[in-house]
Amino acid sequence: MKEKSPILEVSDLQVNRSNSVVIEHANFTIHRGDYVGLVGPNGGGKTTLILAILNIIPRTKGIIRLFGQDIKSFSDWEKVAYVSQNAINFDPQFPLSVRELVALGRVNRSNLGRTLKRADWKAVDDILEFMGISDVADRRIGQLSGGQKQRVFVAKSLVRKPEIILLDEPIVGVDAETQEKFYKKLSDLNIEKGITILLVTHDLTAVFCRMSKVMCVNRLVNVSEITESLKPEEVLREAYGDHFHFVFHKHECKRVFKDE
Number of folded domains that form the chain: 2
Which of 110 and 59 is assigned the larger pLDDT?
A: 59
On the CB side of 50, how many CA atoms lie within 13 Å of its CA?
26
Are both 78 and 95 inside the same structural domain?
Answer: no
CA distances in angstroms from 230 to 15, 96, 131, 245, 257, listed in the order given: 29, 46, 31, 17, 10
Are both 110 and 72 inside the same structural domain?
Answer: no
Are both 49 and 75 inside the same structural domain?
Answer: yes
Residue after which a domain boundary falls, among 143, 167, 191: 167
Mean pLDDT across the stretch 11-31?
A: 96
Are both 94 and 159 inside the same structural domain?
Answer: yes
Are both 90 and 26 inside the same structural domain?
Answer: no
d(C-alpha 129, C-alpha 248), whole Å: 32
Is residue 35 assigned to a domain?
yes
* Residue 66: band (very low, low, confident or very high) from pLDDT cuts 50, 70, 90: very high
Residue after which a domain boundary falls, among 135, 167, 199: 167
For 90-94, 97-101, 115-119, which range has the lowest pLDDT when averaged over its residues? 90-94
* Residue 260: band (very low, low, confident or very high) from pLDDT cuts 50, 70, 90: very low
Are both 124 and 62 inside the same structural domain?
Answer: no
Q: What do you get for the CA distance between the two ends of the chain, in Å?
A: 9
Under 8 Å between Cβ of 90 and 149: no
Is residue 180 assigned to a domain?
no
Read off the amino acid at residue 65: R
Is residue 154 assigned to a domain?
yes
Query: Among 66, 49, 68, 69, which residue's Cα sits nearest to residue 57?
Result: 49
Q: Which domain holds residue 40?
A: 1-85+207-260
* Residue 257: band (very low, low, confident or very high) from pLDDT cuts 50, 70, 90: very low
Which of 251 and 256 is assigned the larger pLDDT?
A: 251
Percent of the chain with pLDDT over 70: 86
Mean pLDDT across the stretch 121-139?
A: 92
Residue 140, phi-psi category: left (phi > 0), alpha (psi -120 to 50), beta (remainder) = beta
Is residue 192 assigned to a domain?
no
d(C-alpha 69, C-alpha 67), whole Å: 6
Q: Is pLDDT of 13 > 70? A: yes
**Strand-pair category, 213-218 with 35-39:** parallel
Are both 48 and 105 inside the same structural domain?
Answer: no
* Residue 53: band (very low, low, confident or very high) from pLDDT cuts 50, 70, 90: very high
* Residue 248: band (very low, low, confident or very high) from pLDDT cuts 50, 70, 90: low
Which of 94 and 253 is assigned the larger pLDDT?
A: 94
SS3 assignment, position 87: coil
Under 8 Å between Cβ of 79 and 145: no
Is residue 138 assigned to a domain?
yes
Are both 14 and 90 inside the same structural domain?
Answer: no
Is residue 69 assigned to a domain?
yes
Is residue 145 assigned to a domain?
yes
CATH code assigned at 104 = 3.40.50.300
60 contacts: CB under 8 Å, gap ≥ 6: 14, 15, 16, 21
Q: What does the mean pLDDT of the chain come to? A: 86
Residue after which a domain boundary falls, among 106, 136, 167: 167
Q: For 148-171, how does the pLDDT look when each residue is reduced to its tens digit (9 = 90+)?
A: 888 888 899 999 889 999 999 887
